[in-house]
Chain A
């Protein structure tokens, strides 16, 4: 579980995060949603320690990250996996080598065990054997995302972070990736935090949703509670599109569940 208590972060005097408190439980997919520029990426980078926060606590199962030394932080990072917006695969390595890399760096496994584990992870994200020897530039965006997921879970992380996992993907591939992340989260009981502004993901996998606006945490709840959140700011964001407005209207009229 990760807990944020009153987290502040400014850049050159401009406060971007203005006191965020939230809880992210293990085994659940937590989504951070909000408009472009609301501070989602800054929040995620603060969570993983790429930005040092000015004030507040970030508690990883009882360990407060801002208090840690650089060495302790690096040790904690070995418990983290991250899926970057652009996949961030190492382009001088093949698909298989990419997944083997963290294992080679940080595990004490033998070469054979490493390859076995890497193949298991790639199989888990439904990648076919044929693509293992290709380089990232030779596979599609959706496949790159899967490789990135496989690499992120190779070391059995406790915490998984995803920055806009769906950007650049079509709706069907997005859905596949979303479901994959949710399944893996439940299977390995990870604490998963996803940055997104994709409403489809919100409805599909939003066990726990944290809505931020202009650096403030405005609402936290599950996707089931989204329709009667009672928050005007949230409604404004969620029901911005005609499609979702129509869904909400239908929901109110017929009390239909989604």
Chain B
């Protein structure tokens, strides 16, 4: 741990890796985040309308519920669980492969602090990119819901818009982003840990990447409860 978070051997190389990782871990996740968020936003509007179709409920119910689900849980927790699968397995298998093909030994022999060189840029890049992913996910979820309102007319656009804006608490956005930063740290560090400590062959890389995804998912769920308790309750 101490070796991972120490000062990089050469800052120039660190920043180069950082940019590279911001692209591979962050930008390349943009597609999946956008697609899933749009569809989840859309489906939420439809489901909520079906379940809560009562004249007693105010017209803004659907928009409000959709917004709160997105802001509070979906765009941070659920999105991170999905990213744990994508990014976590990517990191674990990449570092694990470097371990079994002696690339990590090669770094060590050159006198490079391999843990620092490989892991620190990944962890920091993912943490830097995370808020962007969360905000985009929120926006896309709302656009998904909006399109349903626009094209299917299950709810009217005005109703939906009123709902979106009703009793809006900006703190929720902060809460969500804060959570996602913690999750980003969990995903990238847990996956790096499993990848870096692989012993054996290709099979073990596969196992490490499964372990990374499962364990980081569990940690995300647990820390979600703890954080929510502190920040919202």
Residues of chain B within 8 A of A48, CB atoms compared: 109
Asked if B109 and A89 make an inter-chain contact with CB atoms under 8 angstroms apart, the answer reads: no
Residues of chain B within 8 A of A155, CB atoms compared: 110
Asked if A50 and B108 make an inter-chain contact with CB atoms under 8 angstroms apart, the answer reads: yes
Asked if B101 and A88 make an inter-chain contact with CB atoms under 8 angstroms apart, the answer reads: yes
Residues of chain B within 8 A of A89, CB atoms compared: 103
Q: Which residue of B lies closest to A90 (CB)?
A: B103
A104 within 8 A of B: yes
Asked if B102 and A105 make an inter-chain contact with CB atoms under 8 angstroms apart, the answer reads: no
Q: Would you give the 0/1 interface string for A153-179, flagging 1 where the beta carbon is closer than 8 Å to chain B?
A: 001000001000000000000000000
For residue B145, give the distance in angstroms from its CB to the closest CB of chain A: 39
Given the contacts A85-B102, A88-B101, A105 and B108 also touching, CB distance less than 8 Å: no
Interface residues of A in 42-77 (CB under 8 A from B): 48, 50, 74-75, 77
- Docked Cα-Cα span, A90 to B9, in Å, equals 18
Asked if B101 and A86 make an inter-chain contact with CB atoms under 8 angstroms apart, the answer reads: yes
For residue B174, give the distance in angstroms from its CB to the closest CB of chain A: 36
Q: In the complex, how many residues of chain A place their beta carbon closer than 8 angstroms to a beta carbon of chain B?
A: 23
Residues of chain B within 8 A of A50, CB atoms compared: 105, 108-109
A78 within 8 A of B: yes
How would you classify the secondary structure of chain B's contact residues: helix, strand, loop or mixed?
A: helix
- Docked Cα-Cα span, A90 to B110, in Å, equals 13
User: How many residue pairs at the A-B interface have CB separations less than 8 Å?
Assistant: 51
Asked if B102 and A77 make an inter-chain contact with CB atoms under 8 angstroms apart, the answer reads: no
Q: Would you give the 0/1 interface string for A85-101, flagging 1 where the beta carbon is closer than 8 Å to chain B?
A: 11011110000000001
Residue in B10, B97, B98, B109 whose CB lies within 8 Å of A82 = B109
Residue in B10, B98, B103 whose CB lies within 8 Å of A104 = B10
Interface residues of B in 80-110 (CB under 8 A from A): 97-98, 101-103, 105-106, 108-110
- Docked Cα-Cα span, A16 to B12, in Å, equals 42
Residue in B10, B102, B113 whose CB lies within 8 Å of A88 = B102
- Docked Cα-Cα span, A80 to B105, in Å, equals 13
Asked if B13 and A88 make an inter-chain contact with CB atoms under 8 angstroms apart, the answer reads: no
Q: Would you give the 0/1 interface string for A105-137, flagging 1 where the beta carbon is closer than 8 Å to chain B?
A: 110000000000000000000000000000000
Residue in B103, B106, B110 whose CB lies within 8 Å of A78 = B110
Binding site for B on A (CB under 8 A): 48, 50, 74-75, 77-78, 80-82, 84-86, 88-91, 101-102, 104-106, 155, 161
Q: Which 8 A-B pairs have the closest CB atoms?
A: A77-B111, A88-B102, A88-B106, A78-B111, A84-B102, A82-B109, A74-B111, A88-B103
27 residue pairs A–B, Cβ–Cβ below 8 Å: A50-B108, A50-B109, A74-B113, A77-B108, A77-B109, A77-B111, A78-B110, A80-B109, A82-B105, A84-B102, A84-B106, A86-B102, A88-B103, A91-B97, A91-B103, A101-B110, A104-B10, A104-B12, A104-B13, A105-B9, A105-B10, A105-B13, A105-B110, A105-B111, A106-B110, A106-B111, A155-B110
